[in-house]
Amino acid sequence: MIPSQRGKNLLMLDNYTFSQMKLTHNFYCSKKDSGCKARVKLFNGSILKKFTEHNHPPPKYVVTPNGFYVKIRN
């Protein structure tokens, strides 16, 4: 899990990021609004189900010396 700039946590799996759908256990690809159907279902930190076929390359992040993730925009 990595903190987002909006104060929520993102799930990073295989270099792709997923955002939590409301207060459920469901996480959808951060590019869901662009048509990506990848999703993950977590429970107590374990993956119950996953569909990880994306229609786009993964986002690029760098980790700062103090451990923060920063997304590199094109």
pLDDT at residue 74 greater than cutoff 90:
no
Q: How confident is the model at residue 18 (pLDDT cuts 50, 70, 90)?
A: very high
CA distance 48 to 59: 24
pLDDT(3) > 90: no
Q: Which residues have CB under 8 Å from 64's CB, separation 6+?
A: 70
pLDDT of residue 52: 92
**Tens of pLDDT, residues 19-65:** 998 888 999 999 999 999 999 999 988 999 999 999 999 999 999 99
